[in-house]
Amino acid sequence: SQNRSGVLHKFKGILFSTMSSEELLNSLDSFDAREDDVFLVSYPKSDLVEGTHWIAEVIENIPNARLTLTSPIEFGDISKFEELKMVSKQRVIPTHLSYDMLPMKIKITKCSYKVIYVVRNPKDTAVSLYHYYRDNPNLPPTATWAEFLELFLRGDVVYGSWFDHVLSWEDHKNDENVLIIFYEEMKKDVSKTIKEITAFLGIHVSDSEINKIAWKTSFSEMKNNAARENYDVNHTICALTSNRNLVFRKGAVGDWINYFTSKQKRVFDELFTEKMKHSELARHFE
C-alpha cells in the first residue's frame, strides 16, 4: 500500500487527520456560533458516520424545516469559517470533536443551539474504525486487527480515546440542549428516533410525515444514493473523507464477535469496567 505515514498530526495530545489543519483547530474558539445551530456529533468511524449521515438525511427531509447540512467544522483550513458564514439557512454542523474541543462560544453561552450526539457499542466501534483505517487513504494503514485494537485501547487513534470522548459528552447529557442517541436503538426503531429528533428540534411533524421520512431515509435507500451523490461535498459528514462510499459499510450490530478473541474481549472488558465505572451510558453496552 502507498506510504501514508504523513496523514496524521497531534493537536493538544490528540491525533487528527491532516484534513483538519492545525491552523483551523487552533482557531476553533473564534468560531461564531449562531443561536439556532444544530451540531451533529459522533466519535469517528464508518458505520457511526452512516448513523449521523442518516440523521442529517432525516433533518433535511423534515417538511418546512429550513435546515441545511454543512461540512464538518474541523474539515479543511481556516477558510472554513468564511464558508460557514455564507450559509443563510439554519445550519446543521457535523463534527467528531469531543466536548472539550468545541468552540468556546458554544460552551460558554449554552444558548439555544442544539447538539445531537450519537454513540455506539465500543466493540463494534473498534471493528468499524479498523476497517475505516484500512480503506481510507487519509488514515495510516494498520497491519493487523490485533495491532489496531491496541492503538484503539490506548487512544492512539484519530480523535483520541473512545472512552474519553463518550465521557466528555456524557458530562452534558442532562443539558437541555443535548440529545444522546444510541446507534443500536436507532437501527431498531427508526420512527421512534425520528420522533425524538423532531421533538428535540422543536418541530412538529405528523405521524404520517414521520413514516414518510422513515421510508425515504431507510439505510438501503441511502446506500443506493451514496454512489450517486459521491461528488456532493455538502454531504460530507465525516471530517476524514468526502468519499461517501467509504462511509457505508454493513453497519451490523454485534459484528465485533467475529473479530475479538476471548483474550481480547477480556482485556477490553477490563478497561471498559475501569474507565466507565461511573458512566450511566455504559450500562447500555453491558
Residue 44 has pLDDT above 90, yes or no: no
Residue 56 within a domain: yes
Residue 5 within a domain: no
CA dist list (Å): 123 to 37, 116, 266, 279, 284: 31, 22, 12, 17, 13
Residue 46 within a domain: yes
Query: In this structure, what CATH number is given to the domain that contains residue 37?
Result: 3.40.50.300
Vertex 278 angle, CA 274 and 283, to 5°? 90
Confidence band of 240 (pLDDT split at 50, 70, 90): low
Which residue in the list 9, 53, 96, 131 is annotated as catalytic? Answer: 96
pLDDT greater at residue 108 or residue 167: 167
Residue 61 within a domain: yes
14: which strand partners? Answer: 11
**pLDDT tens column, 143-162:** 799 999 999 999 999 999 99
The total of structural domains in the chain comes to: 1
SS (H, E, C) 249-273: CCCCCCHHHHCCCHHHHHHHHHHHH
Q: Is 235 a catalytic residue?
A: no
pLDDT greater at residue 260 or residue 57: 260
Confidence band of 3 (pLDDT split at 50, 70, 90): very low
SS3 275: helix
How many other CB atoms are there within 10 angstroms of residue 108's CB atom?
Answer: 10
At residue 219, the pLDDT reads: 62
Confidence band of 237 (pLDDT split at 50, 70, 90): low
Please give the Cα distance from 37 to 94 (Å, whole number): 11
Share the mean pLDDT of the chain. 85
Residue 7 within a domain: no
Residue 1 within a domain: no
Query: 174: Cβ–Cβ under 8 A, 6 or more apart, which residues?
Result: none
At residue 139, the pLDDT reads: 82
Confidence band of 5 (pLDDT split at 50, 70, 90): low
Confidence band of 106 (pLDDT split at 50, 70, 90): confident
Q: Name the E strands within 57-165.
A: 67-69, 90-95, 114-119
| C-alpha neighbours within 13 Å on the C-beta side of residue 59 | 28
Residue 223 within a domain: yes
Look up the domain containing 74 and give its range. 12-285
At residue 141, the pLDDT reads: 78
- Grid coordinates given for 105: 462560544
pLDDT greater at residue 211 or residue 107: 211
Pick the range with the lowest mean pLDDT from 153-162, 238-247, 260-269, 272-281.
Answer: 238-247
